[in-house]
Amino acid sequence: MNIAAKNLVSDDVQKVFALQERHQWTVRKTSAAERIEKLKKLRAAIEAHADEVRAALLQDLRRTDPPEGGELLPCYQEIDDAIANLESWMAPQEINPSAMFEGARARVIYEPKGIVLLFGPWNFPFNLVFQPLVQIISAGNCAIVKPNEMSPATSAVSAKIIRETFAPEDVAVFEGGVDLANQLLELPVNHIFFTGSPAVGKIVMAAAAKHLASVTLELGGKNPVVIDKNTDHADAAGKIAFMRNMNSGQVCLCPENIYVHESKKDEFLAVASATYEAMFYVDGALNQDAQGRIVDHRNWERVKSYLDDAKAKGAKVIAGGEVVEETLGVHPTILTDVPRDAKILQEENFGPILSVFTYSDIQEVYDELQSQPKPLALYIFSQDDGFVDDVLANTASGGVTVNHCMMHCVEHNLPFGGANNSGIGRYHSIHGFKELSHERAILRL
């Protein structure tokens, strides 16, 4: 680090980084058993503070954490998976040498990256800190963690768990806002793991380039849904409407732009509207506890501006469309006839708004999607393998779920991540272990 950079970094951050610079050489030599003990200790700490985590999520996002999913369960699953498989993940991979090196021995060993800087997001402020942290630890790295300041209660309990579980030379945590983030980005770390928007992802990648650090960027995009004319539109509409409003639409995997055959438009809109009515309204009034809220006033204003702009330019509101400033609420909304110059089509809206488009020829959809940045996810509803294969061949995305939404992320044996504008790198299970490791090639003659 040069002198100018040091002057931008607080003494506390510099001290911790210096500790980890020395300690990484000890951590890299830890066995699977030693790393597993760290993971067991982390699991026990999360369990001990689970009620505090739930209370924090309710305070920050007006969101409960259901036992069958939410934020805690994926963390437990990630830890348990690593504990069960870490020894085999760490094992050297023997490679058959080419004819040129007949008689030699070749192998790949998995070494830690070194020091990993981990930035958590605000929309899943607990899970998306600890899931990556599990893989950082499994791969034998040190970590500097910054939970997200926009979810302050969850940030506080996350920091508490980390400080109780780890010495700072192993895993350190700092709480703060943009100024702190900028300080941390000055550190010559070996890898940066960031979850957030593409705009901030570009800032993180530029900072990493100063030190030639590798990156994992989990970003987002306008996830499209392509619905086959011959599929069950009631089933598709119900699933899409439910998933669009998860966490009040503040999920990077939420379906956003829907492409339905023109002959099925009315059926789709009727079912989606009825689904919202059944899920989120009681006697015609929005049940705010069932829906959650937008994270803060600035983001509420942003989502409101998308709605206002779309309606001013001629979009039709089929359901919802109302906003409530006092509670930072946005009603589950369905739009049609959204003009191409509407702001809501230029950026990921990160709110509970579906935009529905029709097609008569599937090529119309392909032309539209091929002109857009690659999204984090693509969803296809069809029982026709030929239709599915054709959509896959004519589109690109980070991942795909067929006949549902988001489920490819839930299957932890699959790699999860984006493509270009929606992200760089993969994680979950062994894919995360490899992402946070260096594959070192060894040839012995």
CATH code, domain with 154 = 3.40.605.10
CA distances from 24 to 137, 190, 198 (A): 11, 11, 30
Looking at 252, 254, 405, 409, which residue is catalytic?
A: 252
Residues 73 and 111 in one domain: yes
Q: Provide the number of structural domains found in the chain.
A: 2
Residue 244 is part of a domain; what is its CATH number?
3.40.309.10
Residues 404 and 430 in one domain: no
Residues 385 and 272 in one domain: yes
Residues 15 and 145 in one domain: yes
What is the per-residue pLDDT across 399-445, written as a single tens digit (0 to 9) for each? 999 999 999 999 989 999 999 999 999 999 999 999 999 999 999 99
Confidence of residue 67 (pLDDT cuts 50, 70, 90): low
Residues 398 and 377 in one domain: yes
The verdict on residue 332 lying in a domain is: yes
Residue 110's pLDDT is 98
Residues 109 and 132 in one domain: yes
CA pair distance 417, 399, nearest whole angstrom:
7
Identify whether 47 is a catalytic site residue.
no
119 contact partners, CB below 8 Å, separation of at least 6: 146, 148, 181, 184, 192, 193, 194, 195, 196, 204
The verdict on residue 69 lying in a domain is: yes
Confidence of residue 283 (pLDDT cuts 50, 70, 90): confident
Give me 174's structure tokens. Answer: 């700092």
365 contact partners, CB below 8 Å, separation of at least 6: 224, 226, 259, 359
Residues 308 and 329 in one domain: yes
The verdict on residue 416 lying in a domain is: no
Domain containing residue 385 = 224-410
Residues 270 and 298 in one domain: yes
Give the long-range contacts of residues 85-88, CB within 8 A, separation 24 or more.
85/429, 85/430, 86/32, 86/35, 86/36, 86/39, 86/138, 86/433, 87/32, 87/33
Residue 68's pLDDT is 60
Confidence of residue 292 (pLDDT cuts 50, 70, 90): confident
Average pLDDT over residues 128-144: 98
Residues 348 and 433 in one domain: no
210 contact partners, CB below 8 Å, separation of at least 6: 188
Identify whether 142 is a catalytic site residue.
no
The verdict on residue 415 lying in a domain is: no
**What percent of the chain clears pLDDT 70, i.e. is strictly above it?**
98
Looking at 71, 78, 186, 218, which residue is catalytic?
A: 218
Q: Which residue has the higher pLDDT, 285 or 42?
A: 42
The verdict on residue 145 lying in a domain is: yes
CA pair distance 382, 413, nearest whole angstrom:
24
Residues 302 and 332 in one domain: yes
Residues 123 and 211 in one domain: yes
316 contact partners, CB below 8 Å, separation of at least 6: 335, 336, 337
Average pLDDT over residues 146-150: 97
243 contact partners, CB below 8 Å, separation of at least 6: 253, 254, 255, 404, 405, 406
Q: pTM, whole model, 2 decimals? A: 0.93
Residue 63's pLDDT is 82
Query: What rounded mean pLDDT belongs to the chain?
Result: 94
What is the per-residue pLDDT across 323-343, written as a single tens digit (0 to 9) for each? 999 989 899 999 999 999 999
Q: Which of 47-51, 115-119, 207-211, 246-250 is least confident?
A: 246-250
The verdict on residue 417 lying in a domain is: no
Residues 180 and 287 in one domain: no
